[in-house]
Amino acid sequence: MSVGVENERKSEAPLSNLSRRSLTVLLTALALVLGALVFFRTFVACIERIDPETAIAIRASDANAELDIASNRLASIANAEGSIRDQNLQASEELRQRLLRALYVEPLSAQAFELLGMLSVAGGDTISAKKYMQAAAARSPRSPAALYWLLRYSLSANDIEDVIDRADALLRIRPDLISGVTPALGQIAGTPAGLERLIATLSKGPPWRKKFFLALNGKTKSVDTPKKLLVGLVYSDHPPTPNEIGTYLRYLINSKYYERAYSAWLEFLSPTQLEDARLLFNGGFRFRPSGLPFDWTIEKSHGALTEIVAAQGETDMNALSIEFGGGRVDFHPVSQVLVLAPGRYRLHGISKGSLKGLRGLKWQLACIEQPSRALAESKAFLEESSDWTDFSLSFEIPASCRAEIIRLILDARSASETLVTGSIAFARLRILRDDK
Question: What is the 8-class DSSP label of residue 84?
Answer: B
Identify the three-state secondary structure at position 362.
Answer: strand
Give me the percent of the chain exceeding a pLDDT of 90.
Answer: 56
Rounded mean pLDDT of 28-52?
47
73 vs 99: CA distance, rounded Å: 11
Residue 419 vs residue 33, higher pLDDT? 419
* pLDDT of the residue at 377: 94
195 vs 213: CA distance, rounded Å: 14
Segment (H or E) for 415: none
* pLDDT of the residue at 58: 37
* pLDDT of the residue at 321: 94
Residue 46 vs residue 141, higher pLDDT? 141
DSSP string, 263-320: HHHHTTS-HHHHHT-SSSTTTT--S-----TTS-B---BBTEEEEEEEPTT-SS-EEE
Above 90 in pLDDT, residue 97?
Answer: no
* pLDDT of the residue at 32: 56
State pLDDT tens for residues 383-436: 777 889 999 999 999 999 999 999 999 888 888 778 888 899 999 999 999 876
Above 90 in pLDDT, residue 347?
Answer: yes
Q: Please, which pLDDT band fits residue 309 given cuts at 50, 70 and 90?
A: very high
Residue 80 — φ and ψ, nearest 5°? -60, -25
State pLDDT tens for residues 365-378: 999 999 989 999 99
Distance of CA 57 to the CA centre of its chain: 46
Instruction: 248-253: list long-range contacts, CB under 8 Å, 24+ apart.
Output: 248/213, 248/217, 249/292, 249/293, 249/294, 250/293, 251/217, 251/218, 251/226, 252/223, 253/293, 253/337, 253/368, 253/403
- b/e for 76-89, b at 16 or more Cβ within 10 A? ebbeeeeebeeebe
* pLDDT of the residue at 66: 63
Q: Please, which pLDDT band fits residue 137 given cuts at 50, 70 and 90?
A: very high
Above 60 in pLDDT, residue 93?
Answer: yes
What's the whole-model pTM score? 0.77
Average pLDDT across the chain, whole number:
83
Could you tell me which residues are beta bridge partners of residue 390? 350
Residue 161 vs residue 110, higher pLDDT? 161
* pLDDT of the residue at 71: 59
Above 50 in pLDDT, residue 295?
Answer: yes
- CB atoms inside a 10 Å sphere around CB 202: 25
* pLDDT of the residue at 358: 80
Could you tell me which residues are beta bridge partners of residue 50? none
Above 70 in pLDDT, residue 168?
Answer: yes
Q: CB burial class (10 A; 0-12, 13-18, 19+) of residue 24?
A: exposed
* pLDDT of the residue at 53: 44
State pLDDT tens for residues 240-278: 999 999 999 999 999 999 999 999 999 999 999 999 999
Question: What is the 8-class DSSP label of residue 330?
Answer: B
* pLDDT of the residue at 4: 52
State pLDDT tens for residues 192-241: 999 999 999 999 999 999 999 999 999 999 999 999 999 999 999 999 99
164 vs 283: CA distance, rounded Å: 43
Which of 39-43, 178-182, 371-375 is the least confident region?
Answer: 39-43
Above 60 in pLDDT, residue 45?
Answer: no
**Residue type (1 letter), 70:** A
Let me know: does 293 contact 265? Beta carbons within 8 Å: yes
* pLDDT of the residue at 56: 41
Let me know: does 357 contact 325? Beta carbons within 8 Å: no
Alpha helices in 157-280, H assignment, sequence order: 160-173, 178-189, 192-202, 209-216, 225-232, 242-254, 258-266, 271-275
Say which residues have a Cβ less than 8 Å from residue 186's Cβ, sequence separation at least 6: 216, 219, 220, 225
Let me know: does 281 contact 340? Beta carbons within 8 Å: no
Above 80 in pLDDT, residue 302?
Answer: yes
Which of 30-34, 170-174, 261-265, 381-385 is the least confident region?
Answer: 30-34
417 vs 415: CA distance, rounded Å: 5
Identify the three-state secondary structure at position 91.
Answer: helix
